[in-house]
């Protein structure tokens, strides 16, 4: 059952509303890209200044867990894409199931990340003045970990928000709020999740594969 009022009163048509919603989301995505760009540029600058330090610091990260998380996040993107696909075909329950799977992947990602963080705290591979990693005293080493924590932390925050968004959309999907004609929240929530994936696609080689 599509809800009675899917079109807000100030729009002339449902098409106009959908176009506006999509454009708004793309602008938001663009804005988020620029948010992470600041960190990417800081990373590029310091890697340029301290190439050897960054290469060695990278080896103190757990490559296996990083790769595992990459696969987890890519797969969660697939399930989200499928959720949008099924929602657009009117298969709301199936879409809700796909979203639930994505949430599970998202939580798994966060758990793996938490495990990595735990290890960093043990070895004091920490940012700035908290840095005290044994065996890596090259200049600029603490900068790598500042960037690492800021980048992955900001990303994890986005994952957390994404899990919340997907949960809300999944619940509405399951309740039957959406139809083949109107499923904009599924689409936009999905785009947000893909954005999270997009950022990680760059973080993975930059942090783990030097």
Partner 1 sequence: MNGAEAWAPGPPERTYLNARRGVVSWLTTRDHKRIGLMFLMGSLTALLIGGAMAMAIRLELLSPGPSVMDALTYNRFFTLHGVVMIFLFMVPAIPSVFGNFLLPIMLGAKDVAFPRLNLASFYLYLAGAALALWGMIHGGADTGWTFYAPYSTTTPTQVAPILLGVFTVGMSSIFTGLNFIVTIHTMRAPGLSWGRLPLFVWAVYGASIIQVLATPVLGLVLLLVAAEHTFGFGLFDPARGGDPLLMQHLFWFYSHPTVYIQVLPAMGVISEVVACFSRRPVFGYRMVAASSLGIALVGFFVWGHHMFIAGQSTFDSGVFGVLSMMVGVFTAIKVFNWVGTLYRGAVSFTTPFAYLMGFLYFLVFGGMTGVAVATVSLDVHWHDTYFVVAHFHFIMVGGVMMAFLAALHYWFPKMFGRRYPEGWGLVSAVLIILGFNATFVPQFLLGNLGMPRRYYQYPERFEALNVASSAGATLLAFGFLLILVYLLLSLRYGEKAGDNPWLSKGFEWNTRSPPPEHNFERMPIIEGAPHDYGAPPEVAHATR
Partner 2 sequence: MKANAIHRGAWSYGAVWLSLLGFTFLTFFAAKVDLGTWNIGIALAIASAKSALVVMFFMHLRTHAATNRAFFALAVVFVGLLASLTLADLATRLPTARPGHPALPPLGAEPRGR
137 binds partner 1 (CB under 8 A): no
188 binds partner 1 (CB under 8 A): no
Min dist CB 40 to partner 2, Å, is 7
Distance CA 3, CA 159 (A): 29
* Nearer residue to partner 2 within complex by CB, 138 or 157: 138
Angle at 63 between CA 61 and CA 68, to 5 degrees: 125
Q: Contact with partner 2 (CB under 8 A): which of 16, 49, 59, 176? A: 49
Distance CA 3, CA 6 (A): 6
Min dist CB 8 to partner 2, Å, is 19
Cβ-based burial of 13 (10 A; exposed 0-12, middle 13-18, buried ≥19): exposed
Among partner 2, partner 1, none, residue 146 binds (CB under 5-8 Å by kind)? partner 1
The gap from C-alpha 97 to its chain's centroid, in whole angstroms, comes to 20
* Nearer residue to partner 2 within complex by CB, 23 or 157: 23
Distance CA 5, CA 182 (A): 10
* Nearer residue to partner 2 within complex by CB, 9 or 12: 12
From 12-20, 55-63, 77-85, 104-112, give the range in contact with partner 1 by CB under 8 A: 12-20
Distance CA 52, CA 56 (A): 6
The single residue listed with the structure tokens 């200044």 is 49
Distance CA 53, CA 25 (A): 38
Query: Which candidate, 143, 156, 152, places its Cα nearest to that of 62?
Result: 152
Site size with partner 2, rule: CB under 8 A: 62
204 binds partner 2 (CB under 8 A): yes
- Of 24-43, binders to partner 1 (CB under 8 A) are 24, 27-28, 30-32, 34-39, 41-42
Site size with partner 1, rule: CB under 8 A: 38
Q: Contact with partner 1 (CB under 8 A): which of 143, 188, 195, 206? A: 143
Cβ-based burial of 10 (10 A; exposed 0-12, middle 13-18, buried ≥19): exposed
Judged by the rule CB under 8 A, the positions of this chain that interact with partner 1 are 8-11, 16, 19-20, 23-24, 27-28, 30-32, 34-39, 41-42, 45-46, 49-50, 127-130, 139-140, 142-143, 146-147, 149-150
């Amino acid at each position: 059952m599509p809800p009675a009022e899917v079109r807000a009163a100030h729009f002339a048509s449902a098409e106009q509303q959908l176009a506006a919603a999509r454009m708004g989301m793309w602008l938001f995505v663009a804005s988020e890209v620029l948010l992470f760009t600041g960190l990417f540029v800081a990373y590029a600058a310091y890697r340029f200044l301290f190439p050897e330090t960054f290469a060695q610091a990278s080896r103190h990260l757990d490559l296996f867990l990083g790769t595992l998380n990459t696969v987890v996040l890519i797969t969660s993107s697939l399930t989200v894409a499928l959720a949008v696909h099924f929602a657009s075909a009117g298969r709301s329950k199936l879409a809700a199931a796909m979203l639930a799977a994505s949430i599970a992947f998202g939580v798994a990602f966060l758990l793996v990340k938490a495990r990595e963080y735990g290890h960093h705290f043990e070895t004091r591979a920490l940012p700035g003045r908290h840095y005290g990693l044994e065996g890596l005293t090259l200049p600029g080493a603490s900068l790598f970990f500042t960037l690492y924590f800021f980048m992955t932390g900001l990303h994890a925050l986005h994952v957390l928000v994404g899990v919340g968004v997907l949960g809300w959309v999944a619940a509405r999907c399951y309740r039957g709020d959406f139809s083949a004609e109107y499923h904009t929240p599924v689409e936009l929530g999905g785009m947000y999740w893909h954005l999270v994936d997009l950022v990680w696609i760059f973080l993975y080689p930059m942090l783990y594969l030097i």
